[in-house]
Chain A
Amino acid sequence: MAKIKKLRKIFLNIFIILIISILIFSLSGCYSAQSIDDLTYAIALGIDKGDHNNLAITVQFTFPNASEGGSAGETAPTIINTVECSSINSGISLLNSYTSKEINLSHCKIIVFSEELATLGIGEEIFTLSNQVEIRPDSNIIISKSSAKEYIENSKPELENLVAKYYELTSYSQEYVGFTENITLSDFFNKLNTNYIEPTAILGNGKKLNIPTSNNSNDSNDELNIVAGQIPITEYNRESEYLGLAVFKEDSMVGELTAIETMFHLILTNNFESGIITLSNPLKENSTIDVALYSHKDTSIKTELINSSPFSSIDINLNARLLSVDQNSGDFGTKEIKELESLINSFLQKSILNYLYKTSKEFESDIDGIGKNLLTKFKTMDEWNNYDWSNNYKNTFFDVNVNTNVKSSFLLSS
């Protein structure tokens, strides 16, 4: 008798569990599982200014190839759709009604704004993007001098199969070149919200521009005074490129940095890995020598308030190696090395000072974070807010000190 009761109890338990699970399945009616087959992944997002104060959103999808192993050199096709809308989210939902699969932004690699839109202010869009769960915080922010649509259309990868891989690799490769920086949405958003540093973004171009002729032949680094679109590549498959940075004050764009100025910016913000500059040869007339610069110690920036006017003294420490050698390089003794070092120092000091005054007077935007050190001088938040650093930056005086150590050249040593 007891066993029958026990059996009955067991069956009752199983019955209840079954009923509950069936109820959960049937009553909830909608699960959150989005099957991977029903989603399409956007890898690039472009935002332009459309007509009538609207935005024009461009989205690029990859169409995954069903065939296994496409032949080498054949890239996976991409699809580009553009929609006119009043905000990013309404644009995405309009596009959703057009495409057959649901758009998912969790693999979006780049977000491109056009320069036209950036000068008007992109704060709202940045906040909207940061509010979304799907967007990766490490997507790159690119400001395109042409329209964003042209930039995305002209981004055809030459060395990779997938466009997504091309986007990823390009931003990582900037570490060893030094002519632009890997700026992500989280960087931009953080800097937008602090008041001791202003945001910057990658400068890109979807169309090739004419290469400017050099006016000043004395300045051997003239060829680096270029921005995106002006890289002197004569044979190319792809028109989109980026070089340089876009400078923002608050959330609107106020200017741009050329390639060499970006290198100075990286040196000042301690993001510099390596880069190459050209100088005139101290031994031979009318010839140039290439030097590879490496970061040695962190740049130290000390800011003080002298009569309520900021004064900033900057110390830069770099290592250098000789890149170009000829048969006279064997004559490089200590005296020549010292001469070379002082040449590098003077060049860098002059150029960086020019650059700093340019950001201070022309852009009025502290992109190097000079105000960060000033923060320690204040005791409370209210004092700092009252000081209003962003308006006081233009009164800053700079003093730059560069110290370079020429180590050696590479295989052929001097």
Chain B
Amino acid sequence: MDNTKLGNFEAIALILIITINHIILNFSKTIISRTGSGSALNILFVGILLLLFVELLLFLFKHFPKLDILDISEYLGGKTLKIITGILFIGYYIVFASILLRSFSENLKIIYLDKLPITIIIIIFIIAITYANKLGFSVISKVNMLFLPIIAFCMLFVFLANIKNYNLSGIFPLLGNGAQSTFILGLSNLFAFSSISILYFLPPLVKDNSFRKIARISTILSIILFFLGIFAFLCLFSFLRNSEEIMALYLASRYIEFGRFFQRLDAVFLLIWTIGVISYLCIITSLSINIFKKISNITNSKALVYCLAGIIYIISLIPKNISQTNYIEINIFKYIVFILILGYSLFILIFANIRKRLGGGKNKKTS
């Protein structure tokens, strides 16, 4: 199963589906509520910073071909550092996947499934994730690759079909709450691009020369998608409304109408986004299983699925109501992304590079 490599498009699809899920699950609303109408400029600025960060990553990864961050941390600090890194990443992925699952289920419950208890909705998702994970990581990435164009097309369709409702003065005043707020405080909006955490684990899974291409293309596409999303939301809704708690993309899809017959098409879009969310959860789960396999030398990881599914189920039921979920999503998520993905991993890479340049003697492959 791991002998086969991921193709280019498959790997890009893995990263893009996370970005699309973040757009669906209301990250853009968070950004807009912080930086107001300056979000358009802000996202461009953050995007350029992200590109620089990815270039730095590629440069640091160049000396360790076909090694992912777990192997690099093993090179740096032996098995303990590898286990610590693995556990940190697994924890991050699982906790935030559960929170996102809870958030999406709550939204579904509000919109459609009012009478179904939230536990049942979450169990339905968990059953799907368990079954798909038993089939393996390559199957999940293939299904993801099949569905990604459809999901992306639907998202763009929602943006394009609303053009007659656009109000271009939504992006003015350009600097929103002020230059300081847009550029300096707005740096924290980098958390929206947490999809690049997948890049840390990609090198052994893809072919040799395509890692750089994949990283660049997926970053640029993520930035474009996010920019389009924020631009569309700014033009559609007034940014003075901070009281929305439901997915902004769903609200945008409610306005679509073609003539008198095709109105309120949001149910169809919700079907497609549900597939996107399931895809995202399956990827995260199988990635966590792979990480666990790497740090603990298990050969058969099929039974781990049940454990992880149970943990996700439990964690997703922890918050009491939707405002707690949002609080975790907005505040805690941001800091952890910065600390773990941007900070900790960067440190590991930099120190490993320094060590390689200084030491040079010790062989990096110990296991």
Task: Give the tally of cross-chain contacts (CB within 8 A).
Answer: 69
Q: Are A378 and B238 in contact (CB under 8 A)?
A: no
Q: How far is the CB of B283 from chain A (nearest CB, A)?
A: 25
Of the candidate stretches A132-140, A238-246, A329-337, A354-362, the one touching chain B is A132-140
Q: Are B240 and A193 in contact (CB under 8 A)?
A: yes
Cα(A383)–Cα(B177), bound, Å: 9
Contact with B along A21-56 (1 / 0, CB 8 A): 000100010111000000000000000000000000
Q: How far is the CB of A373 from chain B (nearest CB, A)?
A: 8
Specify which chain B residues have a CB less than 8 angstroms from the CB of A172 in the assembled complex. 260
Q: Are B241 and A28 in contact (CB under 8 A)?
A: no
What size tier do the contact residues of chain B reach?
Answer: 20 to 34
Contact with B along A388-410 (1 / 0, CB 8 A): 00000000000000000000000
Chain A 168-189 interface residues, beta-carbon cutoff 8 Å to B: 168, 172, 186
Chain B 143-200 interface residues, beta-carbon cutoff 8 Å to A: 165, 167, 169, 172-179
Chain B residue, CB-CB nearest to A184: B255
Cα(A382)–Cα(B182), bound, Å: 13
Cα(A364)–Cα(B173), bound, Å: 24
Main secondary structure of the interface of B (DSSP, over half): loop
Specify which chain A residues have a CB less than 8 angstroms from the CB of B117 in the assembled complex. 28, 30
Cα(A334)–Cα(B263), bound, Å: 49
Cα(A194)–Cα(B238), bound, Å: 6
Q: Are B178 and A380 in contact (CB under 8 A)?
A: yes
Contact with B along A106-147 (1 / 0, CB 8 A): 100000000000000000000000000100111000000000
A32 partner, pick from B113, B254, B264, beta carbons under 8 A: B113
The answer to the question of A99 belonging to the interface, with a C-beta cut-off of 8 Å to chain B, is no
Chain A residue, CB-CB nearest to B116: A32
The answer to the question of B36 belonging to the interface, with a C-beta cut-off of 8 Å to chain A, is yes
Known A-B contacts A372-B169, A375-B169; A381 and B176 likewise in contact (beta carbons under 8 Å): yes
Known A-B contacts A32-B114, A186-B255, A381-B37; A138 and B173 likewise in contact (beta carbons under 8 Å): no
Q: Are B173 and A375 in contact (CB under 8 A)?
A: yes
The answer to the question of A379 belonging to the interface, with a C-beta cut-off of 8 Å to chain B, is yes
Chain B residue, CB-CB nearest to A131: B243
Contact with B along A191-221 (1 / 0, CB 8 A): 0011110000000000000000000000000
Cα(A193)–Cα(B243), bound, Å: 12
Chain B 4-49 interface residues, beta-carbon cutoff 8 Å to A: 36-37
Specify which chain B residues have a CB less than 8 angstroms from the CB of A375 in the assembled complex. 169, 172-173
The answer to the question of B257 belonging to the interface, with a C-beta cut-off of 8 Å to chain A, is yes
Contact with A along B105-140 (1 / 0, CB 8 A): 000001111111100100100000000000000000
Q: How far is the CB of B13 from chain A (nearest CB, A)?
A: 32
Q: Are B176 and A380 in contact (CB under 8 A)?
A: yes
Chain B residue, CB-CB nearest to A373: B169
Q: How far is the CB of B74 from chain A (nearest CB, A)?
A: 39
Cα(A312)–Cα(B123), bound, Å: 60
Contact with B along A235-263 (1 / 0, CB 8 A): 00000000000000000000000000000
Chain A residue, CB-CB nearest to B123: A24
Specify which chain B residues have a CB less than 8 angstroms from the CB of A194 in the assembled complex. 238, 240
The answer to the question of B237 belonging to the interface, with a C-beta cut-off of 8 Å to chain A, is yes
Specify which chain B residues have a CB less than 8 angstroms from the CB of A195 in the assembled complex. 240
Chain A 305-354 interface residues, beta-carbon cutoff 8 Å to B: none
Specify which chain A residues have a CB less than 8 angstroms from the CB of B36 in the assembled complex. 381
Q: Are A24 and B120 in contact (CB under 8 A)?
A: yes
Q: How far is the CB of A384 from chain B (nearest CB, A)?
A: 6
Specify which chain A residues have a CB less than 8 angstroms from the CB of B177 in the assembled complex. 380-382
The answer to the question of A100 belonging to the interface, with a C-beta cut-off of 8 Å to chain B, is no
Q: Are A28 and B173 in contact (CB under 8 A)?
A: no
B116 partner, pick from A28, A381, A383, beta carbons under 8 A: A28
Q: How far is the CB of B257 from chain A (nearest CB, A)?
A: 6
Contact with A along B250-262 (1 / 0, CB 8 A): 0000110100100
Known A-B contacts A138-B263, A382-B178; A30 and B115 likewise in contact (beta carbons under 8 Å): yes
Q: Are A136 and B178 in contact (CB under 8 A)?
A: no
The answer to the question of A67 belonging to the interface, with a C-beta cut-off of 8 Å to chain B, is no
Cα(A384)–Cα(B239), bound, Å: 14
Cα(A15)–Cα(B172), bound, Å: 62
Q: Are B260 and A190 in contact (CB under 8 A)?
A: no
Q: How far is the CB of A192 from chain B (nearest CB, A)?
A: 9
The answer to the question of A287 belonging to the interface, with a C-beta cut-off of 8 Å to chain B, is no
A to B CB contacts below 8 Å, 19 in the list = A28-B116, A28-B117, A133-B110, A136-B263, A186-B255, A193-B238, A194-B238, A195-B240, A378-B173, A379-B173, A379-B174, A380-B178, A380-B179, A381-B176, A381-B177, A381-B178, A382-B177, A382-B178, A383-B173
Residues of A within 8 A of B (CB): 24, 28, 30-32, 106, 133, 136-138, 168, 172, 186, 190, 193-196, 372-373, 375-376, 378-384
Identify 17 new A-B residue pairs, CB closer than 8 A, beyond the known A28-B116, A30-B117, A375-B172: A30-B116, A32-B113, A32-B116, A137-B255, A186-B165, A186-B255, A190-B237, A194-B240, A195-B240, A196-B169, A375-B173, A376-B169, A376-B172, A379-B173, A380-B177, A381-B173, A383-B173
